[in-house]
Amino acid sequence: MSEEKSLNFLEEIIETDLKNGKYKQIITRFPPEPNGYLHMGHATSICLNFGLTKKYPGYTNLRFDDTNPVTEETEYVDSIKADIKWLGFEWKHELYASDYFDQLYQFAVTLIKKGLAYVDDSTSEEIATQKGTPTQAGVNSKYRDRSMEENISLFEAMRAGKYKDGEKVLRAKIDMAHTNMLMRDPIIYRIKHAHHHRTGDKWCIYPMYDFAHGQSDSIENITHSICTLEFVPHRELYDWLIEQLNIYPSHQYEFARRNMTYTVMSKRKLLQLVNEKHVSGWDDPRMPTISAMRRRGYTPESIREFCDRVGIAKRENVVDVGLLEFCVREHLNRIALRRMVVLDPVKVVLTNYNDEVEYITSEGNADDVNDSTRAIPFGKELYIEREDFMENPPKKYFRLFPGSMVRLKSAYIIQCNEVIKDAEGNIVELKCTYLPESKSGNDTSGIHVKGTLHWVSAAHAVKIEVRLYDRLFKVEDPSNEEGDFKEYINPDSLQVIPNAYAEPALKDAKFEDRYQFLRKGYFCLDKDSTTDKLIFNRTVTLKDAWAKEQKK
């Protein structure tokens, strides 16, 4: 039953820690900075951090890393909370690094008193020069040897607002010749006369990441502080500060960030796409943000499944977006209601059908026992998909062509007899006959056809708008290409079909429902819909063996 699934490296560490009695429970945290929307990379981290404390005893905090008032906003706080909840996770405590500003200030004072921090008057450029390079040792600042008393009073003056932005900083006193650049007297406090989204104007000095993150972890007794690989060099400083401050020893562990093909996954790049209007906003359905994927019709289940299948490790990776699509198809196939919509219509007239309207029944979802069937109007005039008819079909084409027979889904078998064209030679109508004895459910015709088409009764068709999305970029790894990543944006990533023909049942579409437009893909209602005009987003296409066959 419970065939054992292998553990990832973090689960191994945790199981060892639990087994050794190092911890009775584990505490993790998800630490977003509220300066942007969450994306699939964050989803990985969320599933990891919250998933770990679902699997093992303990809990996970949500902590906003809000130490830079210039870039952070409440709008982002709200969106982040909504996204985590939507993904299906619950945090134990909602916390903010800014909750700890008083405590962090005291930590800084402690460091100064121990002779391990000093106020530096150097300019930003001077400090950068002092740092040296990865291959050259840095040099000490001329302010490095100020007395403890002087440092204390200068730091108090910084806090009191006596200085302008950039005039002074507080630096840890470690080693300017250290091989780890981060240990070369890192800046731990800077002056920013800026309004903070939570603390308002109480502070004009703010701690840097390195002097906030680890300390916040420690205050919250985080046992496993999980972050991405680029923070590996920070771990030495993280540990050094905890040791010097003699506070609860949280530990940092790093895993490789998640990348996906045909998209970009950095907040900076996503912000550019939004600001430069390459997309309509953070929740444009083509974006890899959680809010965009929600709007597009992805389910939390499918995203969690994706994260689970990909797993975590420490090596660079670019996951095939096809796996994400597989996961969402797998879930949607189970839950989506089947409906028929013709995106690019061509009219079919059944010459031997009378003028009455007949209602045929069809299943909403064959896999769902609770789902009821629905009645669909059928009549003399119908629409089918233009690509489902060819005058001169290639081999293996088993849709409609002159003389051929196909089944109309849940209805009758029809045969094409005549093609009507306009002056320009465009096909405007197909005259067909239907086989009365071939009705679905009691077909006595004895005829087997290879093709089954979706259709909509012309007299009952409901006009809807359909938005088809394709990958946002033309290349697998836009960040790794020559030049700017925006040069590789796919110009055809959005295709709007203003007037698709839908069966009447779709008039009652609900936002929370998922639909499969037969043979066309999975769709959901978009928030731009009005009562006059329903708008549907294509979440993902169906697998298309015919399209593949044609490429050969």
Concatenated DSSP letters for 368-421? -TTPPPEEEEE-SEEEEEGGGB-SS--TT--SB-TT-EEEETTS-EEEEEEEEE
Indicate the SS3 state at residue 85: helix
Position 459 contacts RNA (CB under 7 A): no
DSSP assignment letter at 432: E
Q: 231-250: which residues touch RNA (CB under 7 A)? A: 231-234
Give the Cα-Cα-Cα angle 388, 390, 396 (nearest 5 degrees): 80
- Does residue number 317 form part of the binding site for RNA (CB under 7 A)? yes
Q: Which of residues 25-54 bind RNA (CB under 7 A)?
A: 31, 33
Does 166 contact RNA by CB under 7 A? Answer: yes
Q: Residue 136: CB partners within 8 Å, gap ≥ 6?
A: none
161 part of the interface to RNA, by CB under 7 A: no
Is residue 402 involved in binding RNA (CB under 7 A)? no
| Strand partners of residue 196 | 200
Residue 484 phi/psi, 5-degree rounding, is -75, 140
> What's the helix, strand, coil split of the chain in %, to 5?
30, 25, 45
Q: At 74, is the secondary structure helix, strand, or coil?
A: helix
- In the set 82, 109, 176, 256, which binds RNA (CB under 7 A)? 256
Active site residue 190: no
Cross-strand partners of 469? 494
CB nearer RNA, residue 7 or residue 428:
7
CB 525, CB 534: distance < 8 Å: yes
How far is CA 266 from its chain centroid? 12
Task: Report the half-sphere exposure of 452 (CA within 13 A, side-chain side).
Answer: 11
**What is the footprint of RNA within residues 50-89 (CB under 7 A)?**
65, 67-68, 70-71
Q: Minimum CB separation from RNA for residue 174, in Å?
A: 14
Binding residues among 508-537 for RNA as defined by CB under 7 A: 516, 518-519
Position among 75, 102, 330, 528 found at the interface with RNA (CB under 7 A):
330
Is 310 an interacting residue with respect to RNA (CB under 7 A)? Answer: yes
Question: Is residue 359 a contact partner of residue 376, using CB atoms and an 8 Å limit?
Answer: yes
Check residue 206 for interaction with RNA (CB under 7 A): yes
Residue number with CB closer to RNA (284 or 331): 331
Instruction: Name the minimum Å distance from CB 528 to RNA.
Output: 26
CA distances from 2 to 6, 51, 54, 365 (A): 12, 18, 17, 30
Cβ of residue 492: shortest distance to RNA, in angstroms?
20
Q: Is 9 in the site for RNA (CB under 7 A)?
A: yes
| Total site size for RNA, rule CB under 7 A | 93
- Asked about 33 being catalytic, the answer comes back as yes
The single residue among 82, 109, 152, 318 that binds RNA, judged by CB under 7 A, is 318
Instruction: Spot the catalytic one: 29, 159, 173, 267.
Output: 267
Is 267 annotated as catalytic? Answer: yes
- Closer of 237 and 489 to RNA (Cβ): 237
Nearer to RNA, 256 or 494 (CB): 256
Between CA 45 and CA 52, with CA 51 as vertex, the angle to 5 degrees is: 95
Among 57, 249, 322, 498, binds RNA (CB under 7 A): 322
Considering only residues 114, 156, 193, 229, which one is a binding residue for RNA as defined by CB under 7 A?
Answer: 229
Active-site position among 29, 159, 171, 257: 257
Please, what is the minimum distance in Å from the beta carbon of residue 43 to RNA?
14
Active-site annotation, residues = 33, 257, 267
